[in-house]
Structure 1
């Protein structure tokens, strides 16, 4: 089983994350931000990556450190669980429809972190979560997971659907990209021999 546990402690946050890339989509998530928990639950369920997240952050200041550090910790755990990345499919993409919204997510587990974010919100908050924090989560996650990650809302108007389609699209693309390709088992999927 490809699993990893990360503990990240700073003066701003205390985070414990466990991932199992070969799981069933089981989750146990608590960040102190209800809508963020809901999105991370979607990420776990639709990627089939078991995910445990316990975050205590300085929410009395704002959500920035909590969301950023949680993204960093989850990404670090995914990278650790991937190890040398032998046999993975590496590339994947997903179209994620949710009612009137359609989002495209494409990623490469390249070891070269980069985020292209073409998603906008017409509300400043969803539940108690600041919508500007969604991009920040995807950026933080891509950084430590080592992903080249492109997220684009092709169309949509409902802010809840826009956010959820992005997380579900990430989940579905991640599920495929981390899978072991039976035709390449044991081989690092790069002509350089390393990722």
Structure 2
């Protein structure tokens, strides 16, 4: 079973996260940020990864520390659960619409972390989507990719900010499900290593 548990405790946050790449899409997510809970649950459902998250943080200051640290821990757990990456598909992409919005996500589990996130938000709506600051959504995606040591490219268009973010998490889930799937028995690289 490809699974991992990661814990992180700082003066700002305390997080325990369990991830099973060969799960059934079951989630148990508890953070003080309900929109983030919704996105992580959606990610779990559409990736087929089982995800448990228990997180607390200094959200009375703002949501930055908690959102960033969840991205870090999710990336660390994903990398650990992948193991030696033997037999994985490695690369994938997904396009997901949600009403007015469309998210295109491409991933490469190459071991070379990089993130390009084009997630434009409306200037006319509030500074947050639900209870999460807009800039921290992009930061979570970057933290996930950099700590998971994968290449992430996201391009989103649409009108409604909630729809744009939800389409992004669903597209990311589908792309990671396909790229992490075991489809062979060798390392998918001409270098012989990822």
Deviations 1:11-42 (A, max 9, x none): 11111000000001000001210001100011
Deviations 1:140-163 (A, max 9, x none): 00011111000001x310111001
| Residues paired across the two proteins, number | 191
Aligned to 1:69: 69
Return the match for 1:159 from 158, 161, 168. Answer: 161
Distance 2:23 2:77 in 1: 14
Aligned to 2:187: 188
Structure 1 consecutive aligned stretches of length 4 or more whose deviation exceeds 6 Å: none
Aligned to 1:170: 172
Distance 1:3 1:25 in 2: 13
Q: Does 1:140 align with 2:152?
A: no
Q: How does 1:67-146 map to 2 (within 5 A)?
A: 67-122=67-122, 123=125, 124-146=127-149
How far is the alpha carbon of 1:58 from its aligned partner? 0.8
How far is the alpha carbon of 1:131 from its aligned partner? 1.0
Distance 1:83 1:194 in 2: 12
Name stretches of at least 5 consecutive residues in structure 1 with no aligned partner: none
TM-score by length of 1: 0.96
TM-score by length of 2: 0.97
How far is the alpha carbon of 1:170 from its aligned partner? 0.2
Name stretches of at least 5 consecutive residues in structure 2 with no aligned partner: none
Aligned to 2:12: 12
